[in-house]
A and B are shown apart, each in its own frame.
Chain A
Amino acid sequence: MKFKVVEKDVLNPLAEIMMVKEELNPIPYDFESVSLLDNTKPGANVILELLEKNLGKRKFMRAKKPAGSPATIKQLEKAANSEIVILALGDCGSCSSWIILDAIRLEKMGKPTISICSDRFLNFAHELAKSHGAEDLNILSIKHPVAGLSTEEIEEKTIQILPSLKYLLQIP
């Protein structure tokens, strides 16, 4: 007689992904107002202040949100009062998550966004945006680390991202 020994199959523990697709908003060709959304991480205010000084004569509006949790509706509505929203800073796991997810919430409200994350968390930020249906979300990277540095050191790193930011914004 012929015997066949068969090893039983094992089942896959990995979950299927919930596929969604978010519509993102194009950056307007010309714009007058920018919201700077600060998640209060160390250095976020320094980055946003320096950007404000280098983006021409426009109307800038400051707003705050928590770092490791979602912005409140009121905070989002305040940030959405401008034509573009720039969010900073994602330089850890939880704050990068909520920079990206709050950026997506703003995009759903019709606002184009640019999120700033440190380069160490850039891949994660892109993957997170992708898994939430926003693969093409605008994310700029600043060299890690930012926390623990002096104001001058953070400004130096911020200057390096200005060309990319201006390219995204289509301004000289």
Chain B
Amino acid sequence: MKSVKMEKKSPRSRSKENCSCLIEDLLENAKTDDRLCEVSPNDIEVFIDPDPEKTSYNFYIRRMTDGLPIIPPTRDRVLKFMAYTDRNPDDLLAVLPPRQGKAIIEKIAINSVMAGCLPQFMPIVQHSIEALSIEKFNLTSVNATTHPVAVCTILNGPVSREIGASSGDGCLGPGNLANATIGRAVRLCLINIAGAVPGIGDHATMGSPAKYSYAFAESESESPWDSMHYEKGFDSLTSTTTVMAVEAPHNVNDHRSKHAEELLETISHTLSTPGSNNSHVPGEVLVIMSPEHARTISRDGLDKQDVKNYLHENSLVSVELGDRGGRKLDKKWIVDGNIRITRSPNDVVLVIAGGDGRHTMIAHGFGTSSESVTLPILFKDGTPVQSVHDFKE
């Protein structure tokens, strides 16, 4: 394995073993029947892809994978990803803790190749890495903690649809290339750039299946309400990536509620979970609501803010159960002998996704120790990327 400094779109360098023979000489004055040129050690060099099994194993024993096989990150594969960024390979996006690794574009591309991404996914991975480096995300703690917090990447806007990210049936997996590999690329960047290697820079007691990959898109067309990125101030033509530090999702199966309040009651009870970080240090929660559930609530006249208000007011645990977490319970969180699991309605991050069916997924957050970050997918001049094909123009 070589660490080769990459120049963007550079032509392949000429071999030092070139013999300078003219092609006419080679064809007309060949001294033997089977050699083109006696000066060169070889007549033809054939470049082949590395064996994926061997490369995967070599990377695995160096602790540079998530344990699954990888696509060998050859120079030509990585160069294809460079076509979908307007940055230079050595542009520094961020320095990622705990290892204080330099997240340069080339390293993000290499890890994206390994994850199995298509080159067109590069803008999403690049901006996701930039998002999780923002201070309020607190990547230091998210990476190092014993808690099983994972990084969930939520996509909005036209680019997510263009690359085929799933917001529908089975959007949390398995089965969709963009969702599966973008989430995995983010994880591989955390391992190889940030140093979040289990037991070394990542001290999760057990880890989580959500740490392999955790990405999906919002189903904006199926939502009765404004999309999440619109709530955060972005228009429908702007694509965004949101990174959020959350546990693996927990299902809320409610097939029988016919009205908003019954359904929200079920969801709030699932959210009211002792032992979650939110139960002693209240913070954000992710609520991924199916379109059917959203319509049941919407047809009773409730808007998105009403849902957030209800879940904030009614999702709580008793002080006795809440005060068993990792940090001493601050009295400011106690309301009538209970602790709300969110600090305000805005801590309820509500996203509509999924196919047919009457389910909602909830995921507790990392408490007060991390805030989600939404970044628009932009060219470096600040204009929004409306299509990945814009990079080719």
Contacts and interface: CB of A to CB of B under 8 A. Distances in A.
Interface of A: 1-18, 20, 39-42, 66-70, 92-98, 101, 121, 124, 127-128, 131-132, 147
Contact of B96 (A5, A8, A9, A15): A15
Contact of B146 (A92, A127, A128): A92
Contacts of A121: 203
B146 A93 contact: yes
A-B complex: 10 closest residue pairs judged by Cβ atoms: A15-B101, A93-B203, A93-B144, A94-B141, A68-B369, A94-B145, A4-B42, A12-B3, A40-B328, A15-B193
Interface in B1-17: 1-4, 6
Residue of A4, A40, A127 with most chain B CB atoms under a 10 A cut-off? A4
Nearest to A67: B327
B346 interface: no
A8 B201 CA distance: 31
Given A7-B48, A68-B366, A68-B367, A14 B192 contact: yes
A42 B325 CA distance: 9
B98 A94 contact: no
A14 B64 contact: yes
Interface residues of B, number: 71
27 contacts: A7-B48, A8-B72, A8-B76, A9-B2, A11-B73, A11-B78, A12-B110, A13-B64, A13-B73, A13-B188, A14-B64, A14-B101, A15-B99, A15-B193, A41-B326, A66-B368, A67-B369, A68-B368, A92-B146, A93-B143, A94-B140, A94-B146, A95-B326, A97-B144, A124-B200, A127-B98, A127-B201
Contact of A4 (B41, B64, B194, B369): B41
Contacts of B328: 40-42
B34 interface: yes
A88 B76 CA distance: 50
Contact of A69 (B51, B100, B141, B146): B141
Interface of B: 1-4, 6, 34-36, 41-51, 55, 59, 64, 72-76, 78, 95-104, 106-107, 110-111, 114, 138, 140-147, 188, 192-195, 200-204, 281, 326-328, 366-370
B192 A93 contact: no
B100 A132 contact: yes
Contacts of B36: 1
Nearest to B328: A40
Contact of A92 (B104, B145, B193, B281): B145
Residue of B36, B46, B327 with most chain A CB atoms under a 10 A cut-off? B327
Contacts of A6: 45-48
A13 B72 CA distance: 10
B1 A10 contact: yes
